[in-house]
Amino acid sequence: MTRKTVLIVVKGYPRLTETFISQEIRGLERRGLQIELVSLRRPTESITHPIHAEIKAPIRYLPEYIHAELSRAFFGWLKARKLSGYGAAIQMFLQDFARDRTRNRIRRFLQACILASEVGPNINKIYAHFLHTPASVARYASVMRGLPLSLSAHAIDIWTCPDWELAEKINSAEWTTVCSKAGAAKLRSLAKNPSKIFMLYHGLDLKIFRPRKLLVPKNDGTPSNSPVRLISVGRTVQKKGFDVLLEALALMPDNLCWEWTHIGDGPHTKKLKNHAKSLGISDYIHWRGAQNSDKVIIALRQADIFVLPCRRDNDGNQDGLPNVLMEAQSQGLAVASTNISAIPEFIIHSETGILVPPNDPLALQKGLVSLITSPDLRFKFGKAGEKRVRMHFDAEQNLDKLARLLSSSSTEKIKICR
């Protein structure tokens, strides 16, 4: 059988917070690529986005924990041992294990054995999202099967994986894409051949995030007007900085009328709610939990300001360029965020929004007050931001480039994205 299918390896599927991956898969399918999906674990969320129903690719789930499917793991290992690349793969694993003696490393190798033993003859290349665990499984399996490997880097993987591991993975891949200039700079510094690192923003599907009619708002935070509506979308994890936002909101003048809506779920939701209560601002906050993209778009269109005070967490993890910033600006919202990582690549301070230092509630409060009290400024930033999204962050442009990368011979690749 002619090999013609790309095997895409992801950590979990489907996931509410990884619409950029679903957007990419659907875009590749629409460009005629045959795709199969492999996920390292089953979904943990009951809510999905409409885009997930549009994806046709079949999906195979590997056992998240080997003990849950011991027979599958054992027979997968037996079959993998007979593959021509098994010897090279086990040497690669042993070198990795010498530097990372964890159960997780063993689990990833056994997952790779299962994958390599089950993959069909129609697969002609393996492409993995995230350079941590998905790339480990994909790398071992690609060596076992003698298949070319390509990678897609994002944020947590770039900023939390050790440099030795990043270097070995990107140097063993045909090419690696990365979704920010900041991330690309880090990976190119580790690459033997920096020209194999391609910077491709995810961008937005602008057919979904259609423009809305923008009018100069009238609410300016005075008691005689309706409250200025702030909104954030994101998981309740440390790197999003929502505790800093709560502290900034608690510093708002008593005579300023505002309300804040949060969409998303995560491990710190209860802690944040308790923090808001202790700060005395619970009455001004709406916690909506996880919602799909249709409801997020409706909420964005009802809001006045989008705020996301990102920061680096205690493990070194930080966002790259959060897609929700692009989603908010596509709807003409002024944005308040922080000047870290790849965020300044998108938000232009004092032109499409405001950027403040991370972990600085007072600076964030001052920035928000300036937006709340100036409807004209919000309109100016929102309109400029929407124009920037539609001119420079249309997903279709970079999907064309990615499709060519996945479809081209190795001698053609370097010409595609430079």
How does the average pLDDT of the chain come out, rounded? 94
Q: Is the Cα torsion angle 404, 405, 411, 416 positive or negative in sign? A: positive
Q: CATH code for 228-392?
A: 3.40.50.2000
Confidence category of residue 46, pLDDT binned at 50, 70, 90? confident
pLDDT at 409: 61
Closest CA to 77 of 122, 144, 139, 138: 144
Rounded CA separation 358/239 (Å): 10
Give the pair of three-digit tokens for residue 254. 């008593």
Summarize pLDDT for 347-387 with one digit per residue, the tens: 999 999 999 999 999 999 999 999 999 999 999 999 999 99
What is the pLDDT at residue 368?
Answer: 99
Q: What is the pLDDT of residues 250-308, one digit of tens each?
A: 999 999 999 999 999 999 999 999 999 999 999 999 999 999 999 999 999 999 999 99
What pLDDT score was predicted for residue 163? Answer: 98
Q: Name the CATH architecture for the domain at 5-203+395-415.
A: 3-Layer(aba) Sandwich (3.40)
Residues 90-109 have a mean pLDDT of 97
| Cα separation, 232 vs 338, whole angstroms | 14
Burial of 121 (0-12, 13-18, 19+ CB in 10 A): exposed
Could you tell me what percent of the chain has a pLDDT over 70? 97
Structure tokens at 139: 């790398």
Q: 5-203+395-415 and 228-392: same fold?
A: yes
Which of these, 170, 127, 136, 160, lies nearest to 35 by C-alpha position? 127
pLDDT confidence of residue 410: 53
What does the pLDDT read at residue 164?
98
The model carries a pTM of 0.91
Give pLDDT, residue 215: 82
Q: The sheet that has 175-178: what strands, in order across it? A: 59-61, 34-41, 5-12, 123-129, 149-153, 175-178, 197-199
Quick check: 91 and 140 in contact, CB under 8 A? no
Which of 47, 36, 108 lies closest to 291, judged by CA?
47
Direct distance between the N- and C-terminal alpha carbons of the chain, in angstroms, rounded to an integer: 34
Mean pLDDT value across residues 35-44:
96
Number of Cβ within 10 Å of residue 77's Cβ equals 18
Domain segments of the chain: what residues?
Answer: 5-203+395-415, 228-392
pLDDT the model gives residue 217: 86
